[in-house]
Structure 1
Amino acid sequence: MASFTPHGTAYESFGSGPHVIALVHGLGLNRHSWQWQVPALSGTHRVITFDLHGHGDSSVPPTTPSLTVFSDQLAELFDHLGIARASVFGFSLGGMIARRFAMDHADRLETLGILHSAHARDKAAHDAIQARVVQAAQDGPAATVEAALSRWFTDGFRLSHPQMMDEVRRWILANRKDVYAPIYQVLVDGVTELVAPSPPIAAPSLVMTGEEDYGNSPAMSRAIAAEIPGSELVILPGLRHMALAEAPELFNAQLLAFLSRVQRG
């Protein structure tokens, strides 16, 4: 059952421990997309999941959506919960928001996880994602959901797990057309403000993606890692975008191993 901040952010808290992890979901998803991670992480950490503005049970964005709007939403959530510092792990759009948070609120960041997230795109990749935004603006999330499932899951897994596909499909289709497309545009435009951050991100960082995540490719993750001194890079073999759901044991093992290396106390 979700609780709410005064600004309408729906959130849940799990587990306890000396360290806090905030998990930031991707475009069109919601806090429940972390259901495969919460049991593993909350055994040793306090874990916070929440719905981005315009998603799940949270209020719509208070102004034109941007990475800063979502970064400030997370800071407001920390204020509400009395959290001074935390690890922030973001998936896809959430990984972009996590980087923006690292740039805007560095003093509140303990460690950073950038998971299956985009970096600078070539023209073909930019045009392809921009075309999907236009589709979503015209016809809503239904226009892009089936293609998304194909990109996100390997073919065999998608065919053998119809119930999971139905769940993820429901999450995406629940988004309001008039809110979804402007947030989708942030996925397109927000990348430019994240390239070569100055000063560089200083928090211990994990950068991870799937070998077959073509929209958030290994090349992109390598470029992100190259811009964060001392960061760790992991490429998950044979997996696409939604590795967190398709191979949670492997995915979670990487997160926990990273945390064990960089956290003390």
Structure 2
Amino acid sequence: MENMKLVDGTSYFSCGEGDTVIFIHGVGLDKSMWGGQVAGLQKHFHIIGYDMLGHGESPEPQSEATIEAYANQLERLITELKLDKPITVVGFSMGGLVARAFALKYAHRIDRLVILNSVFNRTEEQRSSVLSRCKEVKKLGPGANVEAAIERWFSKEYRAASPAQIDAFRERIVTNSKNGYLQTYQLFGENDNYGVSQLDTLSIPVLVATGELDVGSTPEMAYELARNLPNAQVVVLDQQRHMMPVEAPHQVNDMLLAFIQGKPKQEQLEQSQQEQVILQEVVNGA
């Protein structure tokens, strides 16, 4: 799998064959977080992952960049790669906000949308906590709250069993561009309700998923976001934290495969029960 760059400097990889699925990482991470999804899904799909503005090997965001700038980066990727058929977009955490903004601005591009471990309608306490972390980053740089983040993101069992993986994530975070990380983190902290008044215009199938123990992207947020979408379903993975695409790739891949391939609801439910996945469909505010 080779890393490539667009004319605008966006770094991406491309592998597999079939319908295209584009993956968007979260704040402080990069396209390498999707290794488990590449291993499990490239035999089914054409997979693309890319580095957001200010992350990995992609260029810095312009000063005062908005969330639309991140959506426009994805549009440039799709245009330059000449992806003419509608695609599936999978956004994780901040990537979920970018995916939401992209879907609202470029609805004709998307066939299905997956929002993983993302945020919606934070409480004032939750929003204050995130913005407080932004202030720490502004003062001390990307490593300001890395240990607390790792503790939130991963279970203690995974941290103990996979120290090399944890070290790699720690290194990825602390070596981020201070400017790119801070700008993106601020957008993440301020845009949980981005486009809320337009969400009912998204008629495409949407999967909103998170972990039962994700304290920053809670199941309550997932259900509430889905209630604002006309064609959404919610999956909450039992006992999983924020980094479930990394910590539980088999469960996440099976969930994505079922959703993207459009298996009947009953078949999805049976599969979910076998894997101890809690599945609830939310349609038209039900």
TM-score (norm 1): 0.96
Letter in 2 for 1:125: Q
Matches within 5 A, 1:202-241: 202-241=203-242
Partner of 2:112: 111
Partner of 1:41: 41
Q: Could you tell me how far 1:76 is from its partner in structure 2?
A: 0.3
Contact 2:199 2:228 in 1 (8 A): no
Letter in 2 for 1:55: H
Q: Could you tell me how far 1:63 is from its partner in structure 2?
A: 4.3
Answer with 193-202 or 55-64: which moved more. Answer: 193-202
Matches within 5 A, 1:81-120: 81-84=81-84, 85-120=86-121
Partner of 2:140: 139
Give deviations 1:98-127, integer Å, cap 9, x for gaps.
Answer: 010110000000100000000011111011
Q: Distance in 2 between matches of 1:261 and 1:134?
A: 43
Contact 2:153 2:243 in 1 (8 A): yes
Partner of 2:192: 191
Q: RMSD value over aligned CA atoms?
A: 1.3
- Which residues of structure 2 form unaligned runs of 5+? 265-286
Q: Distance in 1 between matches of 2:45 and 2:262?
A: 15
Partner of 2:271: none
Fraction of identical pairs, as percent: 34
Q: Could you tell me how far 1:178 is from its partner in structure 2?
A: 2.3
Contact 2:213 2:240 in 1 (8 A): yes
Q: Could you tell me how far 1:173 is from its partner in structure 2?
A: 1.2
Q: Helix, strand or coil for the counterpart of 2:191?
A: helix
Contact 2:53 2:180 in 1 (8 A): no
- Which residues of structure 1 form unaligned runs of 5+? none
Contact 2:199 2:229 in 1 (8 A): no
Letter in 2 for 1:37: Q
Q: Could you tell me how far 1:2 is from its partner in structure 2?
A: 1.5
Q: Distance in 2 between matches of 1:178 and 1:60?
A: 8
Q: Distance in 2 between matches of 1:179 and 1:260?
A: 35
Q: Distance in 2 between matches of 1:206 and 1:36?
A: 19
Q: Distance in 1 between matches of 2:48 and 2:149?
A: 26
Answer with 189-198 or 129-138: which moved more. Answer: 189-198
Matches within 5 A, 1:238-249: 238-249=239-250
Letter in 2 for 1:30: D
Letter in 2 for 1:258: F
Q: Could you tell me how far 1:256 is from its partner in structure 2?
A: 0.5
TM-score (norm 2): 0.89
Q: Distance in 1 between matches of 2:13 and 2:175?
A: 20
Q: Distance in 2 between matches of 1:59 and 1:217?
A: 31
Answer with 96-105 or 62-71: which moved more. Answer: 62-71
Partner of 1:61: 61
Letter in 1 for 2:182: A
How many pairs are equivalent?
Answer: 262
Q: Distance in 2 between matches of 1:196 and 1:88?
A: 21
Contact 1:209 1:221 in 2 (8 A): yes
Q: Distance in 1 between matches of 2:199 and 2:114?
A: 19
Letter in 1 for 2:108: D
Answer with 238-247 or 188-197: which moved more. Answer: 188-197
Partner of 1:255: 256
* 1:125 counterpart = 2:130: no
